[in-house]
Amino acid sequence: MTNALTRLLTTKDTLLADGATGTNLFAMGLQSGDAPELWNADAPEKITALYQGAVDAGSDLFLTNTFGGTAARLKLHEAQNRVGELNRLGAEIGREVADKSGREVVVAGSVGPTGEIFEPVGTFSHAEAVEMFHEQADALKAGGADVLWLETISAPEEFRAAADGFALADMPWCGTMSFDTAGRTMMGVTSSDLAQLVETLPNPPIAFGANCGTGASDILRTVLGFVAQGTERPIISKGNAGIPKYVDGHIHYDGTPELMGQYAGMARDAGARIVGGCCGTMPEHLRHMRAILDQGTRGAPPTLDQITAALGPFTSASDGTGDEAVPERRMRRRRRA
C-alpha cells in the first residue's frame, strides 16, 4: 500500500497539516452562505492561493476545497448535479500546487458531513449515504487526490457510511470527528468510542483523530483520550486557533500564531502524528507551528495542568469519557430536530 501519506508517515515523525479553509476563503471575499466549492470552477486562482498558502508555510499535507462536496450539501446551492466536476477540480488544483512544490506534499480530498439525519432517527439510509460518499470519492480520485479526508463528523453511522463509500472508490483515507459538546461529538461519541470504532471498520483509516471542536486545550485532552485506548494508528489533531467569539457581526478566533505554535508542540507530545489547525488558522499560524515542530522532538505527554497553563482553560469539566452525566437532554432534543 503505497500512497503519499503512508510514505511520509514512514519517513517523518510528525506531519504538519494545513489550517482553515473557511477562514482563509472569507478573507478572500467569500460571503457567508456561499458554497465555497463553486470557486473551484469560478475562481480557481483563489483556491490555488489557498493551497499555496499552506504549502509555503511548510505544510506536509493540505485539504481540498471540497468539504461540502456531497450531493446533499451541494443541493442547498442547486449544484447537486455538479459533484463530479467540483470535486475533481478541487483536487486537480491541489495536485498542481503539490506537484510544483519540489517536495512530497499530500493532497487530501476533504469530505464533510452530508447534513442528513440517519435512520432510524431520520430518513437517510446507509445505502444512500454510501452512494453519496462514493460519488464524491470517485471525483476526488479522478482529480488526483492522494487520500480522502473525512472531517467534522459527529455520528458514527456517517463515519461508517463514508468508510464504505471510500472502499468502493478504492481510496485510502483519514477520518476525524469534531468533539465540540463537553468533550463528546454532537451525537455523543467520546474519544474512546472513536478509537474503538475505527478498529471495527472493514476499511479502516490510515489515521484518525479530532478536528475543529472548541479550543486548542480541549482537543489535546481528546488526543490524550485516543492514546489512552492504546491505539497504534496515527492520530490527527486539527484544532481551532482559539475559541470562536462573535465580534462585530462575524466569528473571530483569538488564538495567536505563538499560541498555535505551542499547541503544535504539545499535540505532538500528547501523541498526535499529524498536527494542523482548523477554524481561524491562517498561514502565519502554520509557520509558527512548523517552526516548533522542526525545533524539537517528541517529548513526554503534557499533563492537563500543563495544557491549561499553556493554552488556556478547558471549556468543560471533563472529556466526556467518565461516568458523569451524558448530555441526555441535548441528545433527545437533537434527535427530534
Residues forming the site for Zn ion (CB under 5 A) = 212, 278-279
Closer to Zn ion by CB, 84 or 257: give it. Answer: 257
Q: Residues 276, 248: contact at Cβ < 8 Å?
A: no
Q: How far is the CB of 240 from Zn ion (least distance, A)?
A: 5
Tell me how far apart the alpha carbons of residues 210 and 318 are, in angstroms, rounded to a whole number.
Answer: 16
Nearer to Zn ion, 133 or 253 (CB): 253
Radius of gyration of the chain (CA): 18
* Residue among 206 and 212 whose Cβ is closer to Zn ion: 212
Return the number of the residue (35 or 279) whose C-beta is nearest Zn ion. Answer: 279
Q: Please state, in angstroms and rounded to a whole number, the distance separating the CA atoms of residues 77 and 66.
A: 14
Q: How far apart are CA 145 and CA 139, in angstroms?
A: 9
Of 189 and 279, CB closest to Zn ion: 279
Smallest separation (angstroms) from Zn ion to the CB of 189 = 17
Considering the complex, what minimum distance in angstroms separates the CB of residue 199 from Zn ion?
A: 26
Cβ distance to Zn ion smaller for residue 54 or 169 = 54
CB of residue 267 to Zn ion, shortest distance in Å: 15
Identity of the residue, 130 or 174, whose beta carbon is nearer to Zn ion in the bound complex = 174
- Smallest distance, Zn ion to C-beta of residue 19, A: 10
Minimum CB–partner distance for residue 141 and Zn ion (Å): 25
User: Counting every residue, how long is the chain?
Assistant: 337
Nearer to Zn ion, 54 or 278 (CB): 278
Least distance between Zn ion and beta carbon 237 (Å): 12
Min dist CB 17 to Zn ion, Å, is 12
Q: Which residue has the cell 493540505?
A: 62
CB of 164 to Zn ion, least distance (A): 25
C-alpha grid cell, residue 326: 451524558
Closer residue to Zn ion (CB): 148 or 212: 212
CA atoms within 13 A on the CB side of 265: 19
What is the torsional sign of CA 243, 51, 7, 153? positive
